[in-house]
Amino acid sequence: MQFLRTRRHSPHYKWWVLSCTSLGMLLATINSGTLIIALPDLERSLHTTLLQLVWVILVYMIVSTVLVLTAGRLSDLFGRKNAYVLGFLVFSAASLGAGFASGGTDLILWRVAQGIGVPVRERDVCFGSHHSVSTRNQRQIRHLSITIGKIGLSLHSGNGGPSRI
């Protein structure tokens, strides 16, 4: 993966890491609540049952939870940056596939694929940005990550998300 090679001691390196991990955090928080808003529309447009819609939500959480330790090990073996990019690509491709799903079963399978990409990305969102900066900046990075997460939560809750359910 030649395109992933950057100079770690470059003055812009920490900002690239922060930008990528913040985008991952934003996507994770938006993804956690926007699907709940769309469930009634999914039921009508995909002609699914309530049980299939429940599995659309659950399968993502189950797969991403079960694979946390495996994702951590893969991240240790291949490097945080490579694992993060792989998880981001898997999640993005699965999201695109889920957008074009033609039925409930297709959507469930795409959510499984999303769940596979999430643990690596989530783990490295939390730890990747902290290890790429000096010790004196880690507190600021942590606060910025929390702020990005809160922005993502407010984006979907303000649009009829969990606050209205």
* Inside any domain, residue 83: yes
List, in order, residues 6 or more apart from 132 with CB less than 8 Å away.
8, 13, 14, 17, 18
Show the CA angle centred on residue 111, arms to residues 109 and 115, nearest 5°.
120
* Inside any domain, residue 2: no
Query: pTM for this structure?
Result: 0.72
Output the domain CATH number for residue 137.
1.20.1250.20
Cα separation, 127 vs 140, whole angstroms = 14
- The residue type of 160 is G
pLDDT tens digits, one per residue of 20-75: 777 777 777 777 667 888 888 989 999 999 899 999 989 988 998 899 888 888 88
- Residue 135 structural domain: 14-155
* Inside any domain, residue 160: no
Cα separation, 45 vs 56, whole angstroms = 15
- The residue type of 36 is I
| Total structural domains within the chain | 1
pLDDT value at 162 more than 50? no
19 touches 141 (CB < 8 A): no
In the prediction, which pLDDT does 35 show? 80
In the prediction, which pLDDT does 79 show? 84
* Inside any domain, residue 8: no
